[in-house]
Chains A and B, each alone.
Chain A
Amino acid sequence: MSACSAVDNASSDESDAGGGDTTEPITIGVSLPLTGDFSEPGKGVQRGYEAWAKIVNDSGGLLGRQVELKVLDDQSNADRVVADYESLIAQDEVDLVFGPFSTRLVVPSARVAKEYGMLFVEPAGAAAEVFEQGFDNLFYAAPAVANDHYNYLAEHILAMPEGQRPKTVAYAAMDDPFAQGTAYGLKEKLEAGGIRTVADEVYPPNTTDFSSIAAKIADAKADMLVGGSQYQDAVNLIVALQQLDYQPKMAAFSTAPTNPEFSKAIGEKTEGILSPTGYTTKADYPSNVEFVEKYTAQFGNPPSEDEANAYTTGQVVAAAVEAVGCAEQGDCQQRLIDWLRDNTVETVVGPLSWDEVGRPEAAHLIQQYVDGEIQIVLPEDQKEADFLFPKPAW
């Protein structure tokens, strides 16, 4: 069928500059939370996808065809995301789909993709539950799932001499599968290593006042604080803790510290704060060097993690398409899925391969604010600065 329309197009007014076997573009359907609770990361993912499409198109396209993104806004709403993917696949008949942002939107949309037998590579569903649904079409395009984000930190702490390492930990996590997954992944490992949990607070995503949570944590006087957080909650919690003059020896938050706005919000009091990250602009993988340079040229500032995960999604799908030699609905999708199951893809976050349910088999780096700058401190062989312990007062 696509061959027929290709002939139609060649004889019509298409003036594609791609040369050779120019045909109609490969369309890729995406639904993203461009408004609502996840609009901030949603827009980041959109920029990542756009950067990928531009770089691919500038270098001659995919299978010699230009790629075209069709992006819908699901308003951070799980019902909308389902309707969006239904219409992208069934009505618009897109050739490929990319995943949305956030576990809560990834799970329902992956279900739609599975019904239609579509390959589903996604940039943002890191929570354990994504991989417990029996999706055989899903691949998470990042180095590690949520529960493993803090792995290097857990190893580091448990390797510290008994007398030095933190003895008590307070956990605070947003009621969100991803955010909780990161904190509880670490909690499990530290508890198994004999480090006591003295506070464990869970708060809903719409929490605006963190002073009471902070009061409980400060009262517990934990040596260490672990946040399973998105952006604004981590910032609000940190300031609330500062107001109560709680001074942990170690403080780690997922997501927020890697956001460029973070140090603007917290001021000079970021020193020593830790964060796991799946991406750094400084990684010297060849495609990353190109990505950072071209992304910066296109958008005026370097990419952050959301953009990189989206770009990685594009790279993963592109690798499968180039290897299998097709990109359309139907049998081709299963061949793309099968190929990804058995192969490793070079991406901006390093080489990625997946287990049978789509979990990536790598790990997150641990970054820390050292001398006012966020730098990699773990693992040892990739560090840019020494691990700072205990954390200076904030």
Chain B
Amino acid sequence: MTSPQLVFQSLVLGVLLGGLYALLAAGLTLYFGVMRVVMIAHSAFLILAAYLAWWFNDRTGLDPLLSLALTVPLFFVAGVLMQRLLIRRLSPVTLTMMSVLLTFAVALVIEGLLGYVFSGTQRRIQLGYSGSSLELFGARVAVVKLIAFGLAAAALLGLYLLLKRSRLGQALRATIQHRDAAALVGIDTDRVAGYGFGLGLATAAVGGTALALDSTIYPSLHWHWIGPLMAIIVVGGLGSIPGAAIAAMALGILQSLLQLEMGTTWAQTVFYVALFATLMVRPQGFFGGRLAQRF
């Protein structure tokens, strides 16, 4: 029936897909970890970054990866500003719930603006190497998917090192673990939260650009992403970046392999099945330990 060749090919594709999922979900889990903010607009920012990469390529003819030099700092600043100007105004008591509404609105605004500026026409970056691939033990590995995977690995490693090794990272982790205690030892938790939000959006800039390399984009695309991404961070344990990465990889591979026997429609439900199972068996997530305690 299913040839070993096809299983191996699907496994390779699943790993690549999982890497992309991990990158896209990393920011999402960070917001929750630092601020208990459910950031519905994360995927809208991904699509925004994807559009900026497309637009950059369309205007300059240069490789869309170069747009990262502009979008990463831009998104970081936008994140800090968004936290300072919008998120901080929410009452701490209802923060989690109200952040859903607030960021839902932000997502709608971004979608509307994208439609207004770039129209609803579906866009795709046309790269000379978009159809190229390498051979690996008989399986095909698309160059663009490999680049996206590399971006994901680099961004996640960078984020991990930042959190583990830098002072900002220490402050962020302290804020995540116990906000009041962190404030007591002199950490400006408000400022740290702002930087945390900025970091989250900076990962969205990288993720969106990776996404744009290999898919057709349109303004409402973000709604298709937010569900699976939310599922990934819940399964991985809210606030845990390694958790999100492991869950993303596991679900990406699972989706790719299930596709062989069950077809696309059922394979996509793996996210929601995993979400329900997690909430029933281990509501704090499988890999993150107690809520947002570890990195």
Contact = CB atoms under 8 A, between A and B. Distances in A.
Contact of B133 (A204, A236, A245, A269): A245
> Which 9 A-B residue pairings sit nearest by Cβ, starting from the closest?
A242-B131, A243-B142, A203-B264, A265-B124, A212-B259, A232-B216, A219-B6, A39-B120, A206-B224
A235 B216 CA distance: 7
A40 B10 contact: no
Contacts of A245: 133, 140
Given A40-B218, A204-B268, A211-B13, A239 B130 contact: yes
Given A211-B145, A245-B140, A269 B17 contact: no
A261 B122 contact: yes
Given A212-B13, A212-B267, A243 B140 contact: yes
A204 B265 contact: yes
Nearest to B225: A208
A239 B264 contact: no
Secondary structure of the B side of the interface?
Answer: helix
Interface string B233-268: 000000000000000000000011001100111011
Interface string A207-249: 1110111011011000000000001100110011011110000
Interface of A: 35-37, 39-40, 43, 175, 201-204, 206-209, 211-213, 215-216, 218-219, 231-232, 235-236, 239-240, 242-245, 261, 264-267, 269, 394
Contacts of A175: 265
B3 interface: yes
Nearest to A207: B264
A314 B263 CA distance: 41
Interface string B1-34: 0010110011001101100000000000000000
Contacts of A266: 126
A202 B133 contact: no
A201 B267 CA distance: 12
B82 to A, nearest CB: 24
B118 to A, nearest CB: 12
A43 B120 contact: yes
Given A213-B259, A232-B216, A40 B13 contact: no
10 contacts: A35-B115, A206-B268, A207-B268, A212-B14, A212-B255, A215-B9, A216-B259, A243-B143, A265-B122, A265-B126
